[in-house]
Structure 1
């Protein structure tokens, strides 16, 4: 019986991802540091400027948080090495759900805010 090692040979080569992990860690730390500094300082310009019924500083926090979630998914959940179709299905679904969640939160939050300020508010369509 011949020993056929070709079926059991692995051409996988070990590749260290230490540099990649540290670079992602540093980027995430910098983004988090920016969020903390903005939360402590609360610049007047960002606190008193509104965009779609939300303070500009809140939009910055939302965008930075989405960026951090993207980077964690891309690097630590190994999405960068997946096939294009899988990446798109995961990312597009998440983007759609995040946009939908933001829309619902802003719409309902604005309605509750108006009710608390002016009393009953009727939506006449």
Structure 2
């Protein structure tokens, strides 16, 4: 069985055109997100808002990296949701464990004081 590929060098005799525009766009987006993270990390006063903004920007950057470099944005929607839903549940679990852990720490330290 023969397979046909549109960009196959051996079939057409032409070298496929480089996709440098997409590479530079990805580079610019990642540089922009990283610079925003640095701006918030170094120039904003330490607070819960700064941490929340930093975490949200990091999550956006992680999703973009997964979409671009792991080619998730080119997959079918069912596969995308099968990756995103467990990730959302893991984030929810982390938030729940952190809040419960801080409550437990406060109750134990108040009990022994």
Alignment CA distance shift 1:58-1:106 (3 Å): farther
Which structure carries more relative contact order (alpha carbon 8 Å, separation 6+)?
A: 1
Shift of 1:18: 2.7
Task: Quote the residue 2:49 is aligned against.
Answer: 56
Task: Quote the residue 1:120 is aligned against.
Answer: 111
Which has the higher mean CA deviation after the structures are superposed, 12-21 or 82-91?
12-21
Task: Quote the residue 2:22 is aligned against.
Answer: 20
* Cα deviation 1:62-112 (Å, max 9, x = unaligned): 111110110001111001111111111011111211221122123313543
The reply to whether residue 101 of structure 1 matches residue 94 of structure 2 is: yes
Alignment CA distance shift 1:119-1:79 (3 Å): same
Task: Quote the residue 2:12 is aligned against.
Answer: none
Q: Which runs of 5+ in 2 are unaligned?
A: 8-15
- C-alpha distance in 2 between matches for 1:107 and 1:24: 38
The reply to whether residue 68 of structure 1 matches residue 77 of structure 2 is: no
State the TM-score, normalized to the length of structure 1.
Answer: 0.69
- C-alpha distance in 1 between matches for 2:102 and 2:31: 31
The reply to whether residue 30 of structure 1 matches residue 32 of structure 2 is: yes
Match of 1:10 among 1, 4, 19: 4
Alignment CA distance shift 1:42-1:115 (3 Å): farther
| Two-structure CA RMSD over aligned residues (Å) | 2.4
- C-alpha distance in 2 between matches for 1:76 and 1:10: 25
- C-alpha distance in 2 between matches for 1:109 and 1:21: 43
The reply to whether residue 86 of structure 1 matches residue 88 of structure 2 is: no
